[in-house]
Structure 1
Amino acid sequence: MTAVRATGVGAPEALLRSMFDAAVTAADPAVRIPEVLGPSDWAGERTIVIGAGKAAATMARAVEAAWSAAPAPRSSLVGAVVTRYGHRVDCERIEVHEAGHPVPDGAGERATRRILELARSAGPADRVLALVSGGGSALLVAPLPGLTLAHEQEIGAALLRSGAPIDEINLVRRHLSLVKDGGLAMACAPAPVRALVVSDVPGDDPAVIASGPLLADGSTRADAAAVLDRRGIPVPDEVRRVLAGAAPDGPPPHVPHEIIAAPQQSLEAAASVARAAGVTPVLLGDAIEGESREVGRVLAGIAAQVRRHGQPAGAPCVLLSGGETTVTVRGEGSGGPNVELLLALATAARGNPVHAIACDTDGVDGAAEVAGAVVTPDTLDRAERLGLDPEAALAANDGHAFFAALGDQVVTGPTLTNVNDFRAVLVT
């Protein structure tokens, strides 16, 4: 991971980066998975590993390591998972496929066919271990009969541009797919299935993570159609016919889900770093949603309240939050939700400057291979000297270009986990 610039009293940017690093480490599947696996996972004829998400490959490797360390007798181990391009981790027994995210592609469709093949091969003497993490909704691609990959791509891209929150996007995805909304659980029957989950959604609802491949959420195709209508998404006739039709009969079989990493754990790890540095942590929540620019302005307002009135804590303190904010795309710039939030925060905090970091814990903010950025008390002054206009950058959704010009991007590369966005606003 590259270091960010550390300046000012107590090197506040270095402290912010230490908190982000602690948040990512707390969500590392390589640490968590050995703690939850046991002899029963290797008790069948075969342990079949299937999975999808940005953390799927590193989860698969951790499963392989736990299997190798297990005493004999043990099951044979086979499997296949799909992860985002660039997030591959090589395994010996479990196939690792890479595919497109956030818009699905043909590689994802082929990988999903292989995962379904393995799932359907499972018998009652086997054990299925499902590895689910954020990003799985786009990576698992199996259009319902009558639909094609192009339909999923078109609808998904339009929803992303609309600024729809992730729960609405995933609600639509689940009702266009053969494998979501419990479809993968149906494919595994009658084998017993256990799901290990890295949560990237507000509330940690396993029915929402990756659009619930092993768990239905009770929503309907009519609900999905209502989201598309409310967001003004053009709907092809084929999609409209599918959403107007009847859903498959019967609920999927029950699959126990265990959340092994979640945003709250990461916020608490960051809070421990802050306390060790003599800074009071204020956890604002792990499920904050809304327009990125509006959340940035709210955070600036809370920071001002700290400085003026010592509420909700006195300085020095750090405002910690997680969740997933969204961007309604209006401009043609390069910018994800974290850098958009920081742009709004910096402009709203003019006259009451703060230090802040906002990054995606998977290392990818929006579609850019950049985790996020930092804001410093002199961000606006340095921007002015370089001829940069933060308001214009915000209007153009061009946060990545803005922070790149300042040298204030945070570039980690793939972190191989994903518990959503991490934000820390330090008031000194």
Structure 2
Amino acid sequence: MTAFTPFADEAATRTWLTRLAETAIAAVHPASLLPERLPEPPRGRTVVVGAGKAAAAMARALERAWQARSRDAGRDDPLDGLVVTRHGHGEACRRIEVLEASHPMPDALGEQAAERMLAAVEPLGEDDLVIALVSGGGSALMTRPAPGLTLRQKQALNRELLRSGAPIREINTVRRHLSAIKGGRLAAAAHPARVVSYLISDVPGDEPSLVASGPTLPDDSMPADALAILERRGIAVPDSVRRHLVSDQSAPRRDDPAFARDEVVVLARAADALAAARERAARSGLDVRVLGDDLEGEARDLGRAQAMLAIKAQGECRRPMLILSGGETSVTVRGEGRGGRNVEYLLGVFDTLKGAAGIHALAVDTDGIDGSEDNAGAVIGPDHWQRAREARLSAADHLARNDAYSFFAALDALLVTGPTRTNVNDFRAILVMPRRDEEGVREDVMEGAL
């Protein structure tokens, strides 16, 4: 344990926040979660399918644990299959094939992956087992258009939904009803085989059917709901898409026999990452306030609101306070700048704090990629305000252009981690130090391992 004085060293304070984020992300990595949750091997085959930013790491953890159990039992339980993950998020496996495709924009590789998964499960019988490894990002990575629709149409609608600022619940509702594999259709194709789904949830509220648009889970929404979302968002709907959404009845419902023997296991969620961070911060002597693991809304607006909360808390706290939150914000794209929802949130924080002394903030996407850039997020402190003024950087101008990435790059405040191979969505932390003029405040109250 190494004590440090946050007021004395801005860099050390930001390092502590960065390490806190690393603790949160490690707590939701599949390597430590899957081995204890294995299903029993069936009398027949075991086929693995899956999609998402954590799918390759989940496959690797499953394969290693499966082989170790088989070895300990003196047998060789068969296991094969394939999963698809985002480019750069792959892991080396021996029995499970790992494919890579585009995210957040679906591509032909993701379409081929979906077709191969359906082909892998369709011949299975009631003595066989399907293990589905599903995590955030899987909805774009595993894409097979419904009959009569094209990949190009899905790409165009996906692009407009992302630019509109629609929350993930709405985006995935549309995706499910334009798909031949989502909304439980993969499980229906595998019937009568049993399906065990392992989920790493990136959706606010952790509703299992929303994770990666629920390829193995029934969905209560209707095609009309998807059409209403597109119309409400002002997105042009091609005639073929409209006809499909008016007439489609292909999604299996909850009472479908395909789901009778199936099981769903949620391995990790945003609440688990926040709990790990909260525990570490509490050990370091901080007061910790968790605002929620399912916060949504416009990223910059949430940033402004949480910055105001931090300013108010600073006037009341007697020792360091940590404000934590998770969830998935949205960005309504109006400019042509570079960015993601976490840096847009943080730029809202920055513009509101205006260099308030003793307040630091961090926001990252737990998968290691914020939007489509190369950073996970960013971390800021009071000294960045003066740096921005000296560099003639305007937070308001960059927000107007949706250009938070360029703003924080100029301040050397971006966090670049590379893919973490897990994904429970956004992790946000604001560290609030008491005002130095408060009676009895000590600068050495916080201790933690750097």
State the TM-score bracket (shorter-chain normalisation): over 0.9
1:303 is matched with which residue? 310
Q: Give the secondary structure class of the aligned counterpart of 2:336.
A: coil
TM-score by length of 2: 0.91
1:370 aligns with 2:387: no
Contact 2:361 2:429 (8 Å CA) reproduced: yes
1:34 aligns with 2:39: no
Contact 1:43 1:74 (8 Å CA) reproduced: no
Between 251-260 and 354-363, report the one with greater CA deviation: 251-260
Q: Give the secondary structure class of the aligned counterpart of 2:34.
A: helix
2:250 is matched with which residue? 248
Deviation at 1:249, TM superposition (A): 6.8
Change (3 A) 1:380 1:189: same
1:205 is matched with which residue? 207
Change (3 A) 1:249 1:420: closer
Distance 1:206 1:72 in 2: 35
What residue identity is the alignment partner of 1:25? A
1:159 is matched with which residue? 161
What residue identity is the alignment partner of 2:195? V
What residue identity is the alignment partner of 2:63? E
What residue identity is the alignment partner of 2:15? A
1:357 is matched with which residue? 362
Distance 1:334 1:351 in 2: 23
Contact 1:131 1:195 (8 Å CA) reproduced: yes
Change (3 A) 1:106 1:306: same
1:390 aligns with 2:395: yes
Distance 2:129 2:385 in 1: 56
Contact 1:34 1:66 (8 Å CA) reproduced: yes
Distance 2:305 2:316 in 1: 16
Deviation at 1:246, TM superposition (A): 3.1
Distance 1:26 1:402 in 2: 30
1:112 aligns with 2:114: yes
1:317 aligns with 2:317: no
Contact 1:380 1:390 (8 Å CA) reproduced: no
What residue identity is the alignment partner of 2:42? A
Deviation at 1:380, TM superposition (A): 1.6
What residue identity is the alignment partner of 2:55? A
Distance 1:374 1:235 in 2: 40
Distance 1:304 1:361 in 2: 26
Match of 2:337 among 333, 336, 348: 333
What residue identity is the alignment partner of 1:45? G
Between 276-285 and 13-22, report the one with greater CA deviation: 276-285
Match of 2:191 among 154, 169, 189: 189
1:267 is matched with which residue? 274
Distance 1:360 1:232 in 2: 28
2:427 is matched with which residue? 422
1:15-36: CA deviations, max 9, x gaps? Answer: 1111100111001101100011
1:279 aligns with 2:286: yes
Q: Rg bigger for which structure?
A: 2
1:54-99: CA deviations, max 9, x gaps? Answer: 0000100111101111124353111010000100101111111100
1:346 aligns with 2:350: yes
Contact 1:286 1:323 (8 Å CA) reproduced: yes
Contact 1:143 1:176 (8 Å CA) reproduced: yes
1:146 is matched with which residue? 148
Distance 1:307 1:231 in 2: 39
Distance 1:242 1:136 in 2: 23
RMSD: 1.4
What is the percentage of aligned positions where both structures have the same residue? 50
1:80-126: CA deviations, max 9, x gaps? Answer: 10000100101111111100111100000011111111111221121
Contact 2:324 2:428 (8 Å CA) reproduced: yes
Q: Give the secondary structure class of the aligned counterpart of 2:175.
A: helix
Contact 1:195 1:258 (8 Å CA) reproduced: yes
Contact 1:356 1:374 (8 Å CA) reproduced: yes
Q: Give the secondary structure class of the aligned counterpart of 1:73.
A: coil
Q: Give the secondary structure class of the aligned counterpart of 2:169.
A: helix
What residue identity is the alignment partner of 1:267? L
Gaps of 5+ in 2: 1-5, 434-450
Distance 1:20 1:241 in 2: 46
2:16 is matched with which residue? 15
Distance 2:37 2:231 in 1: 43
Match of 1:95 among 92, 97, 114: 97
Distance 1:50 1:378 in 2: 48
Aligned residues: 418
2:3 is matched with which residue? none
Distance 2:251 2:102 in 1: 31
Contact 1:306 1:315 (8 Å CA) reproduced: no
2:235 is matched with which residue? 233
What residue identity is the alignment partner of 1:185? A
Contact 1:170 1:211 (8 Å CA) reproduced: yes
Change (3 A) 1:361 1:250: closer
Contact 1:102 1:135 (8 Å CA) reproduced: yes
Deviation at 1:282, TM superposition (A): 0.9
Deviation at 1:44, TM superposition (A): 2.8
Change (3 A) 1:68 1:351: closer
Distance 1:142 1:72 in 2: 40
Distance 1:82 1:339 in 2: 27
1:133 aligns with 2:132: no
TM-score by length of 1: 0.95
Deviation at 1:379, TM superposition (A): 1.5
